[in-house]
Amino acid sequence: MSFLYKHLRIHQVFGANTDVGKTLLTSALIRASAAKERDVFYLKPVSTGPMQDADDEYVKRFAGSHKSRVRSKCLFRYGEPVSPHLAATLVRGEAAQSPVPTDHTFVNAIADYIRESAKLHSEPAHMYVETAGGVHSPTLSGSTQLDGYRPLFLPTILIGDSRLGGISATISSYESLALRGYIVDTILLFRDEYYRNWEYLQPYFADRGLKVVSLDAPPEKHSDPDTNFALTEKYYQQIVPASQEGGVFDALTHLDNCHANRLQELESMPRRTLDTIWWPFVQHGLVKSEKDVNVIDSASGDTFSVYNGKSKGDSTLLTSNGSSLLDSQFDGSASWWTQALGHAHPSLTLAAARAAGRYGHVMFPQGTHLPALKLAERLVSSGPGKGWASRAFFSDDGSTGMEVALKMALRAFAVRENGGMKEGQVIEKRRDLGILGLKGSYHGDTIGAMDACEEGVYTCEWHESKGYWLDPPTIGIRKGKVVITLPGAIAAEAGGDAEISPGTLSETYDVQTRLQTDLAQVYRGFIERTLQNLQLDGKRSLAALVLEPIVMGAGGMIFVDPLFQRVLVDVVRSSPVRGPQVSGPNWAGLPVIFDEVFVGLYRLGVESTSSILGVYPDISVNAKILTGGLVPLAVTMASDSIFQAFYSDRKADALLHGHSYTAYPVGCEVANETLELVEKLTTSEEWKESQSKWKVAEDQAAPAIWSLWDPRFVDTISRLPVVGEVMTLGTVLSIKIADDAGGYQSHSAQRILESIKEVTSVDGVSPVAGGASYSINYRTLGSVAYFMLSLNTSPALVRSVEDRIWKTLAAASR
């Protein structure tokens, strides 16, 4: 949780190294603030070493003599000038009785202090939060300062290093701050007249839009404390003169301006956004008010930090009721299904930086580079392509990835239908080819991908549905029971019951066992007859089977009976292969495309949905989680028999599709880092615990059917009157509102859950770092509301969100 107050300007002070004058210059700022008749808060969360203690002592004495203005506070203190990683056992002082803080409790302690301080005054005030050591010095809990303080996202003053080597230390520290996205408002450093670092740093940072202020260096330390105090006092009077002029006051004015500009910018952003931005999937005629614009100032973990100045109204902005203008907001849609590891994960940032620094972008056709090659190998050999894929083709998003998949499948079909490709033979292009899919499918927004779906509200003027879509049986949990809902045509063949209870969730997804059931026979018969009828009257030849396995996301979080999809694949593959067989392991019947853009890479708790269905596709598409929720990238994988359809000695036979940034190193490197981090998660204690709740045995051979959501919570809300149906797998929770058939244009889910968007305080320790309260951002698809987690959302936060969903739905059920 980040903080921003109109009346209280807060800055954290980071040092480019130890002993660069952090406390001294902070003290100078404090004096200047006090001289400007501001109330001043000086927070030194951790105090290390006797030297700093002396400075600190000085501040205290000064604070004592300016009692009305300056408050100082230390939360954790230890006396030896050792690295904090050694000091954890030495914690004493004001927090003597408390255990060594975790990152979470450390941040919370600071947050509490900030909140309390903000309430104390209504007059303009300044707060300086002084960190310990250099930017990357360890915190007591073992992370480094930069990462530890990150949830608070406070504007930063960097104290530069004026000594030999200090240019390097200052720039490097700045870059480490930048890698965490911190707003650095200014750099202060001493004017060492010998090394003259400021001479270099001033223009260097001016180029980067950053103000460097240099200040006279302090006198040498004197061994006698009182003399030292007197000398220091004299020095302060010199750099913080009664005239209120000079560097420190320049810096102070600059910091005040930065604060004012930030407030003004945040305040202006809603209007400017409404005036300039054309949002995707938003009817601007329905979003006219500034308070409807979600101004995201930063993000961390699973929460946004959002500006609330508009929703609170202008009146509260002008008064100082002591509440922050930034709220924590749980990112309940995982930022449109992309998030896997939380926002601004430092490892992903560094991966992006590493690839940008080594390559920038380099052109890919006929070229290669390590990030792309490693990613392709990983995906094909040990990722979702394992067991069937031979090639990886990169593009920019799920939609383009699906266009590539469609081009692959159509060509493979056309080549085989033409009797296999002969040398130099132009493959006749067949516009009347169509795909077989399921009603409710959605494969992306480009026109070709849309043509693989039925006409609907999403489709544009050029849309032409190219295929046939079967109405599938779906799965939901109602009143604690897993239910399969059969569409009319299938229900009639199954004996008339439109609803079937297949057992537990695990039993429902045990496709292998269910293949032996009567229902499987019903499905098979239905599909076979449907396909025969299509062949008789179809104006299009079906050329590919295109599925979103397990869940059709954008179509409304439709959980399809996996048995139906499995039987569908089996039937399609067992139909006679047209044209002659090409040698090698080949696709049979029709090429099968799995659109795993949404469902893949553990979004549903499994790496690939193939493990649930028990069959492999011939072509698959992954995106979204692929890059950990940082940058766009898609991969289309294909089996060798698909690849061979394009292989010849004629350029024109090649897959002539490619975007300029195809396989750009930044995207590929971020994906590699993501896959590595995700792999670690799969064996984490958190996952094991969730899995055991869903009764997944650790050594289970069958695919794990489990969820990060608690089974009791799911059971409970499925029994609420207002809820028609619930479903969950992996990170996804889908809630269908009862008695609503309004589809995409319905607002029932939006209406019933509306209050969950309000900021609500948390009892006990907040699950949001630095929290106390948070709101929930979520999205609906008509009558369906869904909530989506990252793969590493903390169990505490999930429990808290569950609690809030339950309370909201329960209230609506009354």
Residues 519-578 that bind its own copies (CB under 8 A): 543
Contacts of 744 (CB under 8 A, 6+ apart): 456, 457, 556, 781, 782
Q: With respect to its own copies, which residue has the nearer C-beta, 148 or 562?
A: 148
Least Cα distance to 711 among 807, 608, 797, 802 occurs for 802
Q: With respect to its own copies, which residue has the nearer C-beta, 69 or 411?
A: 411
**Number of residues this chain uses to bind its own copies (CB under 8 A):** 177
Among 459, 611, 682, 773, binds its own copies (CB under 8 A): 459
Q: With respect to its own copies, which residue has the nearer C-beta, 608 or 691?
A: 608
User: Is 17 among the residues that bind its own copies (CB under 8 A)?
Assistant: yes
Q: Three-state DSSP class for 485?
A: strand
Closest distance of CB 480 from its own copies, Å: 32
Q: With respect to its own copies, which residue has the nearer C-beta, 466 or 566?
A: 466
Among 101, 160, 342, 724, binds its own copies (CB under 8 A): 342
Q: In the window 623-682, what residues touch its own copies (CB under 8 A)?
A: 623-624, 629-632, 638, 643, 646-662, 664, 666-667
Q: In the window 295-314, what residues touch its own copies (CB under 8 A)?
A: 295-299, 304
User: Is 317 among the residues that bind its own copies (CB under 8 A)?
Assistant: no
Least Cα distance to 549 among 502, 601, 595 occurs for 595
287 and 274 Cβ atoms separated by less than 8 Å: yes
Distance CA 394, CA 232 (A): 63
CA 660 vs CA 307, 365, 449, 596: distances in Å: 36, 10, 20, 24
Q: With respect to its own copies, which residue has the nearer C-beta, 200 or 469?
A: 200
Q: With respect to its own copies, which residue has the nearer C-beta, 270 or 472?
A: 270
Beta bridge partners of 788: 333, 732
Task: State both tokens at 102.
Answer: 């975790």
Binding mask 480-519 for its own copies (x = CB under 8 A): ----------------------------------------
Among 56, 331, 510, 802, binds its own copies (CB under 8 A): 331
Q: With respect to its own copies, which residue has the nearer C-beta, 229 or 643?
A: 643
Which H/E stretch holds residue 46?
A: strand 39-48
Binding mask 153-192 for its own copies (x = CB under 8 A): x----------xx-xxxxxxx-xx-xxxxxx---------
Distance CA 705, CA 685 (A): 17
Q: With respect to its own copies, which residue has the nearer C-beta, 244 or 368?
A: 368
Distance CA 116, CA 127 (A): 12
Q: With respect to its own copies, which residue has the nearer C-beta, 355 or 490?
A: 355
Closest distance of CB 209 from its own copies, Å: 9
Distance CA 258, CA 348 (A): 29
Phi, psi (degrees; rounded to nearest 5) at 714: -60, -45
Contacts of 279 (CB under 8 A, 6+ apart): 287
Q: In the window 206-265, what residues touch its own copies (CB under 8 A)?
A: 208, 265
The length of the chain in residues reads 814
Contact window for its own copies (CB under 8 A) among 93-101, 227-235, 319-327, 389-397 = 389-397
Contact window for its own copies (CB under 8 A) among 119-127, 237-245, 446-454, 608-616 = 446-454
Among 61, 85, 221, 807, binds its own copies (CB under 8 A): 85
Q: With respect to its own copies, which residue has the nearer C-beta, 393 or 509?
A: 393
Which H/E stretch holds residue 620?
A: strand 619-622
Q: In the window 44-63, what residues touch its own copies (CB under 8 A)?
A: 49
User: Is 451 among the residues that bind its own copies (CB under 8 A)?
Assistant: yes
Cα dihedral value 114, 297, 150, 779, nearest 10: 110
Closest distance of CB 430 from its own copies, Å: 5
292 and 311 Cβ atoms separated by less than 8 Å: no
User: Is 376 among the residues that bind its own copies (CB under 8 A)?
Assistant: yes
Q: In the window 402-431, what residues touch its own copies (CB under 8 A)?
A: 403, 406-407, 410-411, 414, 429-431
Closest distance of CB 146 from its own copies, Å: 9
Total Cβ atoms within 10 A of residue 117: 20
User: Is 373 among the residues that bind its own copies (CB under 8 A)?
Assistant: yes
Nearest-5° angle of CA 534, CA 539, CA 545? 55
Contact window for its own copies (CB under 8 A) among 54-62, 399-407, 603-611, 766-774 = 399-407
Which H/E stretch holds residue 239?
A: helix 225-239
User: Is 369 among the residues that bind its own copies (CB under 8 A)?
Assistant: yes
User: Is 292 among the residues that bind its own copies (CB under 8 A)?
Assistant: yes
Closest distance of CB 486 from its own copies, Å: 29
Distance CA 265, CA 754 (A): 28
Among 462, 496, 683, 701, binds its own copies (CB under 8 A): 462
Q: How far from chain centre, in Å, is Cα 31? A: 41
749 and 784 Cβ atoms separated by less than 8 Å: yes
Among 145, 441, 674, 808, binds its own copies (CB under 8 A): 145
Among 61, 227, 279, 532, binds its own copies (CB under 8 A): 279
Phi, psi (degrees; rounded to nearest 5) at 244: 55, 40
Q: In the window 578-607, what residues touch its own copies (CB under 8 A)?
A: none
Q: In the window 764-783, what residues touch its own copies (CB under 8 A)?
A: 777
Name the region of 113 (left: φ>0; alpha: ψ -120 to 50; beta: rest): alpha
Least Cα distance to 709 among 684, 683, 735 occurs for 735
Q: Tokens 């390097």 appear where?
A: 168
Closest distance of CB 14 from its own copies, Å: 10
Q: In the window 111-140, what residues touch its own copies (CB under 8 A)?
A: 133-138
Q: Tokens 């921003």 appear where?
A: 4
